[in-house]
Structure 1
């Protein structure tokens, strides 16, 4: 019963432990390094909206408008978000492992960053000139937001604090902003519960 309750909670909200939306995005492919295979958390366009809204990139007003979107355009945006995520994963994990990232990963991130920039414009508001999104009802808005976030994460001063969870099957990414920079786990409570759940499943399958 406890395990079923935990799974229900996870489907309603994302576990944001990374300290940055773009890094949390990489973690939406759960158990990325598990031998039994990864678990996709971005299964629908609604999942993408919930994630970008929960991270604070997308406002409630924007999300409400985008929830009216259905069909090929929403599906395309979901696929782009996943592609952006995997491109970011290639680069972020290379940084953590201190190796050179694949060129194609960097190039794809560059394309998403430029797509985000191409869809922003200067507009006059009562409080002055602001940089806003040209079309907030475009289904690709979450992708633009995440593309910009990925570029910000890679070029920020905190990029050097990028770490991966010490659990080899988990390896969720996070920014280690602890005082001594010795954080080893994505989250002790989350990873502890995940490990217990994994052992429970393994024991059941071995019977």
Structure 2
């Protein structure tokens, strides 16, 4: 369900009610690993290595912490959605800054993968513990806070839908998470309502 046009908002959408039934894609450690893999936030070989050396319960604990981070951040986003962030928002971001402060990132020169150069400076991270899996999520949330105009952050208008997205359309008129799902359901409901009012 990567439809938000922002990885930080896609993280919030990792629990959603797209079609009347709530679904949590990070309901346990295995779900967290799958979501991180699909989001391409952690290299596949690092995920495999981490899974091989930790107990399942440890991954479940990190999934619990990740869900708690998600719900805290959902409150922040919904509070500020629809208008630009101000400097006062920084006072609310203590939990996110605390997470970012635990990072063990470093830079390293490696063969270039794109462009014309032979070598490139690449940012790397040490994946020493299961908790390190939360660090790229924290980065995605920080990028959302620092780079996205919160005026464009919206909640889907679909009935019972809990998805959020960044509206990057030219006229900022996007109303639905997925037009084929929530948009069509709204059109069908409006059509039924019109037919009922004619009777």
TM-score interval, smaller chain: 0.7 to 0.9
Tell me how far apart the structure 2 counterparts of residues 123 and 113 of structure 1 sit (CA, whole Å).
20
1:178-198 per-residue CA deviation (whole Å, 9 max, x = no partner) reads 111100000022336888xxx
* Residues 1:187 and 2:178 aligned together: yes
Q: Which residue of 2 aligns with 1:20?
A: 6
Q: Which residue of 1 aligns with 2:74?
A: 89
Tell me how far apart the structure 2 counterparts of residues 78 and 157 of structure 1 sit (CA, whole Å).
26
Q: Is the 8 A contact 2:176 2:183 kept in 1?
A: no
Cα shift at 1:41: 2.7
| Gap runs ≥5 in structure 1 | 1-14, 196-207
Structure 2-normalised TM-score? 0.73
- 1:34-49 correspondence to structure 2 within 5 Å: 38-49=22-33
Q: Which residue of 2 aligns with 1:76?
A: 61
Q: Is the 8 A contact 1:62 1:137 kept in 2?
A: no
Tell me how far apart the structure 1 counterparts of residues 80 and 159 of structure 2 sit (CA, whole Å).
17
Structure 1-normalised TM-score? 0.71
Counterpart of 1:156 (choices 129, 147, 152) is 147
Q: Is the 8 A contact 2:154 2:164 kept in 1?
A: yes
Counterpart of 1:131 (choices 110, 118, 123) is 123
1:24-66 per-residue CA deviation (whole Å, 9 max, x = no partner) reads 111122239x8xx954331111111111111121222222223
SS in 1 for 2:101: helix
Q: Is the 8 A contact 1:65 1:137 kept in 2?
A: no
SS in 1 for 2:165: strand
Counterpart of 1:64 (choices 45, 48, 51) is 48
CA root-mean-square deviation = 3.1
1:148-183 per-residue CA deviation (whole Å, 9 max, x = no partner) reads 110011100444321110125213111111111100
Q: Is the 8 A contact 1:28 1:40 kept in 2?
A: yes
Larger Rg: 2
Q: Which residue of 2 aligns with 1:112?
A: 99
CA pair 63-71 structure 1, distance change in 2 beyond 3 A: closer
Q: Which has the bigger relative contact order, CA under 8 A and spacing at least 6?
A: 2
Tell me how far apart the structure 2 counterparts of residues 177 and 171 of structure 1 sit (CA, whole Å).
19
Tell me how far apart the structure 1 counterparts of residues 78 and 42 of structure 2 sit (CA, whole Å).
26
